[in-house]
Amino acid sequence: MLKILFLIFFISVNMAYSDVHSFRKVFPFDYKVEGLDNGLTIIFVPMQNNGIVSYYSVVRTGSRDEYEPGHSGFAHFFEHCMFRGTKKHPGGEFDSLVTLMGASANAYTSDDLTCYHLTFAKEDLEQVIELESDRFQNLFYQEREFQTESGAVLGEFMKSKTSPWFLIEETMLNTAFDLHTYKHTTMGFEADIRSMPTMYDYSRSFFNRYYRPENVVILIVGDVNAEKILPLIKKYYGDWKKGYEQPKIEQEPEQKAERNAKVIYSGKNLPILAVAYKSPAYSPINKVDVAAGLIGDILFGQNSEIYKKLYLNEQLVQRMDYDFGQNRDPGLWSVYCEINDEKNNDYVLNEIDHAIDNFKISSINEEELDKLKKRLMYSFLMSLETSEHVAGALARVVSITGGINCVDQYYNTMLSLTPKDFKEAALKYFNKSRRTVVTLRGSN
């Protein structure tokens, strides 16, 4: 069915492609947004998918919100701790009930959100609503359990430190940011994680401030009927008390000069070069910002000239990746290269500079831009084949904006872009004064 929807939409896009002033519906499903008096937002996305439902609880708090010195890592901690359960449904019982339903349940933390998700048969929807509402309102853990869980978090952190990619990201963030909370990774600073077992009272404070209805959006996607489900949401979440407190996050000052750092990795690994540019906060209606976010795909994707040159032809890099993701606040756009020999670091960096400098002059032509728009549209729509895929695709934009109207806004802006917008974006954001360069060298 989705493929048919895509073909209809794709034809309509081509027919009206030159009309940049018309606003088109891009997200291929109808949806309904409801809100409770306590501030909880619920987004229903009905799909024809043979009785499967995905239930995502998006907490609009991630490592970004950890602004108090010495207390990073708690957003990630609660990703773990929320499975400890409540007095009504202790952790073991919660796990058993999920297993008996045949549901899949998991969670993840990022810089801008913490997300808890289940996928299950629609017959179990009320039980899921009861379980989720209970642990969000009545999470229960004692100090001994807190210490056990925080010890597990430290163990996960230490395991992550064995990866050169984690180390280079950690160094990159710490070097690129001075004041903003994006300075630390999602897991937090090591010193804070080591001190975490002594912060039981603080953990309760963190939960009470951020796990509040005004700061949570529930996505219910699949074989659902909003009119039938909303009374259940009111029944189980209606008594959840308000109390969200905005984090006091410091604004990052403008970066005016290139920053550099080196990482010595204790294990054996090829050298890694990471180059990151300061990026703007997510704005789905700003043409220059949307264009800037697409430059990573154009300049450093597998179809790019630099990729063909360094990876395929000259075989100087074993890997070239880019991360031009969007954030709630100004963040980073990064390019990563794993290089065969450290002596080629400067050459690869010069090639990155050369690709950006050329793009500032020649930008992208109309034919290439047309292909890019069609490919991005196709990729987005084809990623929405299941309820879990749809909810997963929406979770991050929900965390950043609080809703999903931005999906249509973003793709309409993208469809309206011209080569001039890309040139302006490159000139504005991709300058040496706005970047941080980090290199990693292994013990070999």
Mean pLDDT for 354-376 is 95
Q: How far is residue 79 CA from its own chain's centroid?
A: 15
Percent of the chain with pLDDT over 90: 91
Residues 6+ apart with CB under 8 A from 407: 26, 27, 284, 394, 397
Mean pLDDT for 374-382 is 95
* pLDDT given at position 171: 98
Residue 48 banded pLDDT, cuts 50, 70, 90: confident
Distance CA 401, CA 404 (A): 8
Mean pLDDT for 396-403 is 96
Per-residue pLDDT tens digits for 99-133:
999 998 999 999 999 999 999 999 999 999 999 99
Q: How far is residue 412 CA from its own chain's centroid?
A: 21
3-state secondary structure 246-274: CCCCCCCCCCCCCEEEEEECCCCCCCEEE
Mean pLDDT for 127-153 is 96
CA end-to-end distance (rounded Å), the chain = 53
* pLDDT given at position 92: 87
* pLDDT given at position 16: 43
Rg of the chain taking only CA atoms, in angstroms: 23
Q: List the helix and strand counts (H, then E) for the chain.
A: 16, 11
Mean pLDDT for 40-45 is 98
Strand order of the sheet with strand 32-35?
A: 32-35, 41-46, 216-222, 52-59, 114-121, 104-109
* pLDDT given at position 340: 95
Residue 21 banded pLDDT, cuts 50, 70, 90: low
Residue type, 58: V
pLDDT at residue 6 above 90?
no
* pLDDT given at position 49: 83
Residue type, 146: F
Residue with tokens 């002594």: 198
What are the angstrom distances between the C-alpha of 391 and each of 56, 176, 366, 444? 7, 32, 33, 44
Mean pLDDT for 49-65 is 96
Residue 306 banded pLDDT, cuts 50, 70, 90: very high
| 438 touches 263 (CB < 8 A) | yes
**Dihedral through CA 357, CA 363, CA 368, CA 370, nearest 10?**
140
Residue 17 banded pLDDT, cuts 50, 70, 90: very low
Residue with tokens 């000052």: 253
Number of alpha carbons in the 13 Å side-chain half-sphere of residue 236: 17
Mean pLDDT for 405-424 is 97
Residue 443 banded pLDDT, cuts 50, 70, 90: confident
What are the angstrom distances between the C-alpha of 414 and each of 271, 300, 326, 384? 36, 19, 14, 19
Set out the domains of the chain in order of their start, with CATH numbers.
27-237 (3.30.830.10), 259-441 (3.30.830.10)
Q: How many CB atoms lie within 10 A of CB 418?
A: 15
